[in-house]
Amino acid sequence: MAETPEPDAAHMARAVELAARGHGATSPNPVVGCVVLDAAGQVAGEGFHAFAGGPHAEVVALEQAGERARGGTAYVTLEPCDHTGRTGPCSGALLRAGVSRVVVAVPDPTPKAAGGAERLRAAGVEVRVGVLEAEAERVNEEWLTYARLGRPHVTWKLAATLDGRSAAEDGTSQWITSPEARADVHRLRAASDAVMAGIGTVLADDPRLTARPAPPQDPRPDDPRPDDPCPDDPRLTGRQGLPHGLPDGPRPPSARRVPLRVVVDSDARTPPTARVLDGQAPTLVAVAEDAPAALDADLLRLPRRDGGLDLEALLRELAARDVVSVFLEGGPTLAGSFMRHGLVDRVVAYLAPAFLGSGRAALGPAGVRSVSGIHRLVFDDVTPIGPDLRLTARPPHRVREQ
């Protein structure tokens, strides 16, 4: 493959940077960034998709560029949509603006919105696809996972000592990590569609599973609207999880929504007084098909599998409820099941500089009987958070070759 020309790479890198600003607010659409150059090669406009229902990145950048866009080049992190909703397709907006060249990082994988590149080519616009594709995929990984696999992207978060303990022998776990690490976790929660825990964690710790301070409720209806502009898949609604925390920058109040709380509770043992049922956020309790029906909560009944619930069925059901990203918090049994079935897309581990020597391990049985079956990960980021370390890692099949 020919080396990417430096100007294209530099401008696409800026578009990727812009796209990241939409993290956690673009549901039901992906995060997208756009840079528009004039005919002389000077930056004329920039934009990103800031919140669902707002203008798309291309529209923002083209409006800023105005007449300077004519004869210029547009850099877009995701193929311009070719779908007509409340607004026309972004491919049409680029044509009306008179750009002569469009550089795309990632082709749109959804049949509903794809086709923008071909429409532009058919109209005589030069189109280049694949510039900084890996970087653009990484910034949009939650939505792309959903679009390609038909299930939410799953991030497993753990907090542990250096010897891998998430609780002491007496079951106490508050607090292993620092206030700074816990604040970072809340930022990650707030950027997710759903926060998930198992019944063991609910019974042991009675967590709220909310993002504090809780973002204001979204006044928009929860159900996806078929006339949303270019809703690359009408089932997609939710917020994109962040690999390294929430980006800075203002967002409109309507861009924030409270994450759905999900309890995986095969036998419906969640106490009616559990804080996860306190009404501060919507809660879904996943139970087995044959579990008692006495629990007064929103129940999702699923088949049993391997001593628990069918997790793949759970993720499919969450996708049908418009959940794009899941933040998996615990405990070790549930995390082990997700790992065993290959359903973890990213691991965010907070390690405290401490030892317990005994107590609960952070990960339960994960289907490994010998070293040959070990779950290998690839480190992506190591960041100090207060006195702790935050490690971000992914399974090798989730890491693209650079």
12 phi, psi to nearest 5 deg: -70, -35
120 Cβ partners below 8 Å, 6+ apart? 80, 91, 94, 95, 102, 127
Is the link from the previous residue into 331 a cis peptide, with omega within 30 of 0? Answer: yes
Strands in 388-394's sheet, in edge-to-edge order, are 298-302, 283-288, 260-264, 194-198, 325-330, 153-161, 346-352, 388-394, 378-385
Strand order in the sheet with 43-48: 43-48, 33-37, 73-78, 101-106, 126-129
Question: In the block, which residue shows the tokens 């694949």?
Answer: 130
- d(CA 70, CA 324) in angstroms, rounded, equals 36
**Is the CA virtual torsion 291, 294, 295, 297 positive or negative?**
positive
Residue 176 tokens, joined: 């292993």
Residues annotated as catalytic (active site), given as ranges: 58
Cα–Cα distance list, 127 to 68, 69, 120, 243, 326 (Å): 19, 16, 7, 30, 35
Binding positions:
56, 81, 90, 159, 173, 175, 189, 201, 205, 209, 212, 266, 329, 331-337
Q: Which residues are annotated as a binding site for NADP(+)?
A: 159, 175, 201, 205, 266, 331-337
Question: Kind of pairing, strands 165-167 and 194-198?
Answer: unpaired
Neighbours of 28 (CB within 10 A): 22
Q: Which residues are annotated as a binding site for Zn(2+)?
A: 56, 81, 90
